[in-house]
Structure 1
Amino acid sequence: MAHLLSLRLTLSAAETNKTSSPNTRRTHKTTTSISAPKRGSSSPSNKTHKLNLEISPHRAVSAVRLMRIELGGAFADLLNEKGKGSGNNEMGYVARTLGFRTRNLEDRDFRLVTNIVGGTIRWRRYLDHLIGSLCHDEKTFRSMEPLLLQILRIGFYEIVKLNMPPYAVVDENVRLAKVALRPGAGSMVNGILRKLVLLKENNSLPLPKLEGDKRSQARALATLYSHPVWMVRRWTRYFGQEEAIKLMMWNNRDPSFSLRANKGRGVTRADLVMQLNSLKVLHELSFHLDDFVCIKTGLQIVVQAGLLKEGICSVQDESAGLVVSVVDPQPGESIIDCCAAPGGKTLFMASRLSGKGMVSAIDINKGRLKILRETAKMHQVDGVVTTIHADLRIFAENNSVKFDKVLLDAPCSGLGVLSKRADLRWNRKLEDLEQLKNLQDELLDAASTLVKPGGVLIYSTCSIDPEENEERIHAFLLRHPEFNIDPVDRYVPPDFVVKHGFYLTNPVKHSLDGSFAARLVRAS
């Protein structure tokens, strides 16, 4: 599936380039250049920029990272793994963008950066509404330079959503604007943030009221809960206004994560629990999957301790693990995972084969397949994993090979994972859904040709949209009467079984990422 979380929850450059501003009034000036460090360089720029110890390092890093995400095609790195050289690169970006160096980030700073960047992205529409309302006029907001806007967003988020001491926030962000831009920018930040503090203290923030016709209410909700208007209207139509609000509230929460003990390496859940206890990471055992442990905080501790790099565990949402339960891989079976990268489901399926059988992972991205192979080796399941670099549609047309089970984890809108993919809501457009539905149909048709007589085709997404889920299956069955629905009630707990025997996780109801799956059996 195109939007399954990889280890770093990356946002591809292609998706980033499609980003549209949540506030249609605003037009960014993208004259600021944010360049990556050149290969082979040893970041000499850090030595040529003066060290400034008065600037809050987490705010400086947050501002630059937000600019890179919005303008430069970077990604929202929720894990913040401090790998070799990653800290130097981060501080190098700060020095080149702001013109000065700050002290290096400490662990507390990393957590603050993660919180501020993720929260500022999620609440961007809401924050921009407030900033625009407190500017002298609309032109001031529309023409605001990118760095100044990010500094204001950070300040507004810290005051309104994090409830940090307001005047400390004002002073720190004013200082950053003065040093990184010019004294006049600091004065502007000071004036706008102080207006915000007074309005918040008087409980009179200039927010829209939920009134008027459906369109007006959708626009108000989109601002109040910081989502695109088209999503609000779509969810209200499908789920009702109350459920749409609950869904947006879920998406705006700090995400929780689950870890899967790597059974292929002989690591049990009890072993993983011992490791988490030694790291003092609070956790709960999954009620649904024997190999999974759930954590709300402490993921960066797990990453920095090397548990992922050493192959002890993997970051994988329970909803993705339950899709593997729907597949029900058995030792000795031949399985193909279509659109497999980054490979979380491939590896989990492989770990359940007990060394017998084969999982073939096909994907169009050669680089990600290479990473999958390396990870399979680290997880000690490479003996039952093979990779195929190809477009599924071309592969299916030119090959007669058949499989016991075919998993199509289809490219989708990712509307079920917006709590983890903070930036995705602003990159996804309504027009994307039509293109994705056409692609999903093409891939389903191709995948179906790879299923043996009596074999099983499993279609899954990380979307909650009925048009990408149930409607795709019903349309497929009209084109392919040789397939029939196999209800999933034998494979997952009954709470996840919905009409027609499909599998569905509801973020609000289940506190999991949204996902869907259907089992289809080919006639013998």
Structure 2
Amino acid sequence: MTPAARIACAIDLIGVLEEQCFGPAARRRPADAVASDFFRTRRFIGGGDRRVVSELAWGVVRQRIRLGWHLDRLGVAPTARLLLLAQMLLGRSGDHGRGRQAAEAAFDDSHYGPAALDPAERRVAASLDGRPLVDPAMPDGPRLNLPDWVLPALTARFGAGLAREAAALETEAPLDLRVNLLKTDREAAITLLAGERIEVVPTPLSPWGLRLPARRPVTGTAAFRQGLIEVQDEGSQLIALLADARPGMRVADYCAGAAGKTLAMAATMGNKGKITACDTSAARLEGAATRLKRAGVDNAERHLLEAGDRWAKRRAGSFDRVLVDAPCTGTGTWRRNPDARLRTRPEDLAELVEVQHQILGKASELVRPGGRLVYATCSLLPQENEEQMDRFLAHAPGFVPIPLDRLWAELRPGLELPCEGPFLALSPGRHGTDGFFCAVLERGA
């Protein structure tokens, strides 16, 4: 493809993303799924061209809030053409004039290229040329690249540190791996990966974690194929750590999804005892089967939660550990999923808070006296975390929080406590992990 053809293709992809993911009438599908469908119907686009087109479109997605502010300030609608044009121009203050010339030249009206800029678009280009992407006149939302509706909650959470956290949410997330203790240990995994020319370093908080300084494809390595490693953010690993699932226990992973935490807990159990991975999605549980087999997990079973299912009632009060990795807004993962900050809306938060409360109520009935309920989210919002715990504990007096400092001293002795307060609360800016929350509650005898 010519450079102009790539621009035209990126404009088409941006238009589809706007229509299906972000617009007022959009289905709000995940952008990666929409992009996958887009390229699947355009098999003539080669791998190299696909990467360039994706980078152009994702550049717009990552800066969509700011680009929208600039175009709204000029009184023009955010068309796909203008969004890409704005992305090409903004932030080139040291390249005044030349940036505009290059951008206008990209719209070359060639056979496969985009149509030439019309007079109105040229006026937009002239107005944006040389301006900074982060404008001093911006209100807090665009300045921090955050939707307005999350600002009160994140300000309450981070206070003066919000700017640092917002900046961290714009960085590229690292690639973290979890060593599968059923098959190897961390030092052996480091040596094996080094033999495949993949350099990793131990994660600072998780005893099983490895971090790649630069992103590399690992799923083709022998270590991955043999089930010695799994891709898992360090913060997610710490939730499995705090669950403290031990050999011989009965454990329920109530919202297991693809079973990442099931795998980690099965390893701490040494394949002894029984762990049940539950989910409402048959497809997710089917995908989990492949991961469990590759990891050598043989103490796990899967259970599909369906309406009218009596499984939970028959097993009430019988589990030593019940992990609820609850559905949430995913605000802690926005550096990995920049489109989510555009797709997620205030009404989603209100709905999810109620869903979380209902799930907690059902899952808590599975915990035996003296057992533990572990509640986790990948959210940075207090409504889904500390406030959710306050609400649950007000309705479930039989449960008592186990303070983080006590858990940490038992599970990571000699290592500095990662945060203050009774619960684990991780963030990209402070800890370098995704944003995670974890509370461990014990049921009275």
TM-score range, shorter chain: 0.7 to 0.9
The equivalent residue for 2:17 is 69
Kindly provide the amino acid, as one letter, of the partner of residue 336 in structure 1. Answer: A
How far apart, CA to CA, are the structure 2 residues paired with 1:162 and 1:329? 57
How far apart are 1:388 and its partner, in Å?
0.6
Match of 2:47 among 92, 97, 105: 105
Matched, 1:297 2:211: no
How far apart, CA to CA, are the structure 1 residues paired with 2:223 and 2:126? 45
How far apart, CA to CA, are the structure 1 residues paired with 2:127 and 2:185? 55
How far apart are 1:251 and its partner, in Å?
1.0
Matched, 1:519 2:440: yes
The equivalent residue for 2:418 is 496
Alignment of 1:84-483 (within 5 A): 91-94=39-42, 101=44, 104-106=46-48, 112=52, 115-133=55-73, 138=75, 141-142=76-77, 145=79, 147-156=80-89, 159=92, 166=99, 169-170=102-103, 173-175=106-108, 179-184=112-117, 192-193=124-125, 195-197=127-129, 199-200=130-131, 207-209=135-137, 220-240=139-159, 242-264=160-182, 266-278=183-195, 280-299=197-216, 301-303=217-219, 308=224, 311-381=227-297, 383-391=298-306, 395=310, 398-401=313-316, 402-483=318-399
Q: Is the 8 A contact 1:338 1:392 kept in 2?
A: no
Q: From the superposition, tell whether residues 345 and 181 of structure 1 become closer, same or farther in structure 2 (CA, over 3 Å).
A: same
Kindly provide the amino acid, as one letter, of the partner of residue 293 in structure 1. Answer: L
How far apart, CA to CA, are the structure 1 residues paired with 2:288 and 2:95? 38
How far apart are 1:376 and its partner, in Å?
0.7
Note the alpha carbon deviations across 1:124-177, whole angstroms, 9 max, x for none. 01112223445xxx2xx22x64x42453254246858999x8368515631379
How far apart, CA to CA, are the structure 1 residues paired with 2:282 and 2:210? 31
Q: Which moved more, 1:508-517 or 1:486-495?
A: 486-495
The equivalent residue for 1:217 is none
Report the 3-state secondary structure (helix = DSSP H, G, I; strand = E; otherwise coil) of the residue aligned with 1:406: strand
State the TM-score, normalizing by the size of structure 2.
0.84
Q: Is the 8 A contact 2:67 2:83 kept in 1?
A: no
Q: Is the 8 A contact 2:66 2:134 kept in 1?
A: no
How far apart are 1:403 and its partner, in Å?
0.8
How far apart, CA to CA, are the structure 2 residues paired with 1:340 and 1:257? 21
State the TM-score, normalizing by the size of structure 1.
0.72
Report the 3-state secondary structure (helix = DSSP H, G, I; strand = E; otherwise coil) of the residue aligned with 2:333: coil
Kindly provide the amino acid, as one letter, of the partner of residue 72 in structure 1. Answer: Q
How far apart are 1:423 and its partner, in Å?
1.0
Q: From the superposition, tell whether residues 172 and 454 of structure 1 become closer, same or farther in structure 2 (CA, over 3 Å).
A: farther
How far apart are 1:510 and its partner, in Å?
1.2
Q: From the superposition, tell whether residues 306 and 223 of structure 1 become closer, same or farther in structure 2 (CA, over 3 Å).
A: farther
Q: Is the 8 A contact 2:377 2:436 kept in 1?
A: yes
In structure 1, list runs of 5 or more residues that go unmatched: 1-51, 81-85, 96-100, 211-219
The equivalent residue for 1:486 is 402
How far apart, CA to CA, are the structure 2 residues paired with 1:122 and 1:491? 38
Q: Is the 8 A contact 1:281 1:298 kept in 2?
A: no
Q: Is the 8 A contact 2:357 2:392 kept in 1?
A: yes
Kindly provide the amino acid, as one letter, of the partner of residue 146 in structure 2. Answer: H
Kindly provide the amino acid, as one letter, of the partner of residue 214 in structure 2. Answer: T
Kindly provide the amino acid, as one letter, of the partner of residue 418 in structure 2. Answer: F
How far apart, CA to CA, are the structure 1 residues paired with 2:244 and 2:109? 54
Q: Which moved more, 1:111-120 or 1:334-343?
A: 111-120
The equivalent residue for 1:507 is 428
How far apart are 1:307 and its partner, in Å?
5.9
Q: From the superposition, tell whether residues 514 and 229 of structure 1 become closer, same or farther in structure 2 (CA, over 3 Å).
A: same
Q: From the superposition, tell whether residues 497 and 464 of structure 1 become closer, same or farther in structure 2 (CA, over 3 Å).
A: same
Kindly provide the amino acid, as one letter, of the partner of residue 248 in structure 1. Answer: A
Q: CA RMSD in A?
A: 3.4
Q: From the superposition, tell whether residues 303 and 157 of structure 1 become closer, same or farther in structure 2 (CA, over 3 Å).
A: farther
Q: From the superposition, tell whether residues 503 and 238 of structure 1 become closer, same or farther in structure 2 (CA, over 3 Å).
A: closer
In structure 2, list runs of 5 or more residues that go unmatched: 22-28
Q: From the superposition, tell whether residues 459 and 254 of structure 1 become closer, same or farther in structure 2 (CA, over 3 Å).
A: same
How far apart, CA to CA, are the structure 2 residues paired with 1:417 and 1:514? 6
How far apart, CA to CA, are the structure 2 residues paired with 1:436 and 1:497? 25
Q: From the superposition, tell whether residues 337 and 169 of structure 1 become closer, same or farther in structure 2 (CA, over 3 Å).
A: farther
Q: From the superposition, tell whether residues 258 and 171 of structure 1 become closer, same or farther in structure 2 (CA, over 3 Å).
A: same
